[in-house]
Chain A
Amino acid sequence: MTFKLAASPHSHQRRTTKQVMRWVYLALVPGLLTIIYFFGWGVIWQLMLAVITAWVAEALCMKLRGRPIESAWHDHTALVTAILLGISIPGFAPWWIIVIGTAFSIIIVKHVYGGVGMNIFNPAMAGYVVLLISFPVQMTSWPLPVQLSQIDLSFFDSAVLIFTGYTPSGYDLEQLRMGADGMTMATPLDSLRTALNHEMTIDEALQQPIFGSIAGLGWQWVNAAFLLGGLVLLKVRVINWHIPVGMLLGLAVPAALAWMFSPDQSVSPVMHLFSGATMLGAFFIATDPVTAATSNRGRLYFGLLIGFLVFAIRTWGGYPDAVAFAVLLANMTVPVIDKYTQPVAYGHGEKS
């Protein structure tokens, strides 16, 4: 009788990629709920469009590369890319924005570089940046928090708006973004920038209705919810602390310094941490393992770099949010970081 041959180890921890990904989806839920609560149903439609596009694009690539099409369905990395992009773009952006962005992320950023595990750039963020550069107007038209908005949109109204550009009652996106005073309102980070450029002090700027108690109205809670989800991921050890802690420190420390030296002219560290895509970026985007540095020490530096770049771009740059650019720039430095942070193997250090 002959027996089955297998390579050691014969024991395996039953935690598959699928389970890991399930935690990621679960951890995104609180953030998603707060987005819906504050910014309406648009995000759900964006997510659906993103996921469908990702699957079609993935299947297409598989076919072109001569692989079984079903394997597209096994691959959760495409799904995560789609979800992150769907969450990152303005909720009521026209449908073709997300479709183009997701297709670009999957086909160009991921597959042209060789598929899972081979891409250099974070696919979701590369897609985001391409959209931002190509369609700046649509990509910066963030809806007002529902609480400030004059118009209430139902689930289906949102769909109509996304697909036709008008709500069933004939409003367009621009009108939706008007406050009670009939002025279009920018996002909190934008308003701050504008205010500072107009020589207002921070305190004056923060008087605007778009701000809540610690950061932008709505945004602060969205960030808090992503922080919560991120902590869950840390707890169940789906991610390690190095990247998120690195990124938050990299952002908060320079922000605190600047704030200490010129409190009137700078955004407070807390404001930084709870604005824009900070928490989503720190726990869900920058942690993409494929495009991050390799060793834990390297990942700490990688996180710090992203945090600092976010601070720098928000402070001196011209774009509304900085996380996408910061992540892509940091992606480019990964080979260098890896080179200098290779762990000292057993028997090579001074302990031997």
Chain B
Amino acid sequence: MSAAAKKAIETGKIWTFPGGIHPPERKELSNHSPIGQLALAATYVVPIKQHTGAPGEICVAVDERVLRGQPLTQSTTGQGLPVHAPTSGTVTAIGPGRIAHPSGMADIVIRIRADGEDESVPQQGLTDYTQVSRAELLDSIRLAGIAGLGGAGFPTAQKLALQRPIDYLIINGVECEPYISADDRLMREHAESIIDGAEILLHLAGCNKGLVAIEDNKPEAIAAMQDVLQQHPHFSLRVVPTKYPSGGEKQLIQLLTGRQVPSRGLPIDIGLIMQNVGTAYAVSRAIRHGEALTERVVTVTGEAVAKPGNYWVRIGTPVAHVLQQTGFQAQDNEQRIIMGGPMMGFTLPDVDVPIVKISNCLLVPSTTELAPAQQEMPCIRCGACSDVCPAELLPQQLQWLAKAKDHEGLEKQNLFDCIECGACAYVCPSEIPLVHYYRKAKAEIRNIAREKAKAEIARERFEARNERLEREKEQRLERHRKAAEARKKAQQEQVKSGGDNPQDAVQAAIARAKARKAAQQKAADEQASSNDEDNA
């Protein structure tokens, strides 16, 4: 980043981003009371993969007793992220189970029956983290199972491990999605720990400037953070105007620095790194107290729960338990259970799925507060969608191209720069589920690319196999030729030396050679085909 650019940032300037919307915030529903505790559930379901990247290997067995904070998976490569037991109890099953995912897909889960003791593994914190090596610190964060709690779920240590120059660490407390107030409450109640975690992150990022961003609709959180930040000269507070989606990574970067993350690039490409306040808090707990990530703040809200608010929820708690504890009453058969907020959350088909590291909200709206989608009408090209698109795309063109399956056109119109914020669909007077079409189109394009790559690999493999078989055949023929020659020679010598009845012996030898050859051929073919299966 140039000196001039930094200077502009230092003035505390807040830039703007194009588009954006102002949906009803409805945060007052959940942000009035302190973060509550829930009674322990009887069973927990811990999916082994809760972050972007490969899962770790399972290191517990069925019937094994586990303690809270005990890793259930570990990774040998130093890349994957472990998951931990949310409470003490017994592992009852390991196998496929439904997880909270927009597609409702299944993954491997570890089921634990709680024993009610809630006994924890011994924990060991660090008082002075500057005394340990960077690698060790990063490893502690990884072993605590910390992934971005803001929604993306990218392993935090991995983000920090990239040894690249960083100008600013941005701590994201914007929380622009309506209804959600988990970060708001966390900042009000645990500002100290959040900033402590932020300092650790700053130390690891190897830069000396941090920006803490909060939306101006959270005066209490701003005050609490401001208070703590006075003792932390490396950090400065940035209050951003309330507008959705100002908390989106790309939009917040634009707000705070006036710059844009290059298409298909990362913030680190322009010397920035962003972490959510919840993540900073978890880092502080992991380093200072040696605590693994086994719980998070979840906003439970909507008019269909009796006790809306924020709760510390153990990772792996079935949604059913959370809803039952907060007095959920299904309103009618139009009832939706939304994991996440009203703009980007997804609906759950049932409530058996567990809360995971990235679940920041459970929203159970009544049909009057969030009316179900209406009949989709044709696009009238009014342009309302492109007026609000923060990525400066043309959503009306995208939907048209997506419906026509014009993949080339979609790429030209930068479909993959769509952040799926839903602002366009929010304003569309024809109620076209635009984001739904974009997701589908993206999946199709990705699938085609994957198929293509697969076909390419298969073709290469096929050619390699043909070559190998060809080579082996030649070698075999060569061997046989040599063997035949040797035999002929031996025979001639035998004839010369006047052995008796050589004809019989020749016949027998030919029969033997034939049998051997057939057997060899068969074995070679079998091996070749089994190799292919292994590779497939």
List the interface of chain A (C-beta within 8 A of B): 1-17, 19-20, 74, 77, 115-117, 240, 289-290, 292, 294-296, 299, 342-349, 351-352
Contact = CB atoms under 8 A, between A and B. Distances in A.
Contact of B335 (A3, A11, A348): A3
Contact of A6 (B264, B343, B351, B372): B372
Contacts of B345: 8, 10
Given A9-B344, A348-B414, A296 B263 contact: no
Contact of B336 (A3, A292, A294): A3
Given A7-B436, A17-B377, A295-B394, A346 B263 contact: yes
Contact of B344 (A3, A4, A8, A15): A8
A345 B393 contact: yes
Contact of B337 (A3, A115, A294): A3
A287 to B, nearest CB: 10
Contacts of B262: 347-348, 352
Q: Identify whether the interface residues of A are mostly helix, strand, loop, or mixed.
A: loop
Contacts of B23: 11, 13
> B21, B258, B260: which has the most chain A beta carbons within 10 Å?
B260
B383 A11 contact: no
Contacts of A349: 260
Contact of B347 (A5, A292, A346): A5
B166 to A, nearest CB: 17
Interface string B334-355: 1111101011111111110000
Given A5-B349, A289-B383, 20 more contacts: A1-B351, A3-B330, A4-B333, A7-B433, A8-B342, A9-B422, A9-B426, A10-B336, A11-B342, A15-B427, A116-B380, A290-B380, A292-B381, A296-B383, A345-B263, A345-B393, A347-B262, A347-B417, A348-B414, A351-B260
A16 B380 CA distance: 11
A299 to B, nearest CB: 8
Contacts of A343: 386, 392-394
Contacts, number: 170
Interface string B419-431: 0101001110111
Contacts of B383: 240, 289, 294-296, 299
Contacts of B264: 347
Q: Is the interface of B mostly helix, strand, loop or mixed?
A: loop
A8 B344 CA distance: 6
A345 B417 contact: yes
Nearest to A9: B422
Interface in B438-465: 439
Q: Which 7 A-B pairs have the closest CB atoms?
A: A9-B422, A347-B263, A7-B436, A11-B342, A352-B260, A352-B262, A345-B414
Contacts of B233: none
Contact of A3 (B21, B24, B347, B439): B347
B250 A346 contact: yes
B156 to A, nearest CB: 23
Contact of A8 (B24, B250, B422): B422
Contacts of A295: 383, 386, 394
B425 to A, nearest CB: 5
Contacts of B347: 3-6, 10
Interface centre among B24, B265, B371, B429 (most CB of A within 10 A): B429
Contact of A346 (B370, B372, B374, B391): B391
